[in-house]
Copies of this chain bind each other. A is one copy, B any other.
């Protein structure tokens, strides 16, 4: 038997957003590796070993997956969303590069998934319908000054902005500083979207102006999207819930 490693994205939560090629990989796997809540989403079956692991052990997990693939297993590394966006793919390649040369001959593929930012944008309308940027607000892996610099440049470029990992229990302060910086740079009327746990039973969506945004509106399950200066809101008076938000395709010359 010849082993392989597939690094896959299982989308934001709803099984109806898992692509058929990812479902097939999960069915063919002998071993599933990943963070506990994502591995748990793959049903147990004969012939499948599930290897759930804790958060922040991405390199150990990657090494384990590569070793098993080298030993002939059919290994799937699961991420939520898309594996290439603030998820496991980069960790596996970091581990691969640092590891034995023979690992480079392994059959390794990445299968894309619906990343949280696009699922959240779809729920709100089309806030990322024009040029945008995507920033991880956690300073676990980069200096805080770099986050602030990127935010300032993104505002100057007038990008819409999608933020992953806005706030966690271990980083309660940073997101407040982000909101302050953006309020100063974009003004109080800029639109901001808080999309929490999209496509799960706990889904919530909030569309407000920057003036009304508070840090408590985000947690680790929240995707935050900030509009560009062109982003617009369409009210729907007869609908419960949020208005539509979209960024027009064109910018006046």
Contact = CB atoms under 8 A, between A and B. Distances in A.
Interface of A: 11, 14-21, 24, 58, 82-86, 89-94, 96-97, 104-105, 108-115, 118-119, 121-123, 125-136, 141-143, 146, 149-150, 153-154, 156-159, 232, 234-239, 244, 246-251, 253
Nearest to A17: B19
Contacts of A130: 90, 136, 142
Contacts of A150: 131, 157-159
7 contacts: A90-B247, A91-B249, A93-B234, A94-B246, A104-B235, A131-B134, A150-B157
Contacts of A19: 11, 16-19, 114
A84 B129 contact: yes
Contacts of A156: 153
B118 A82 contact: yes
B105 A112 contact: no
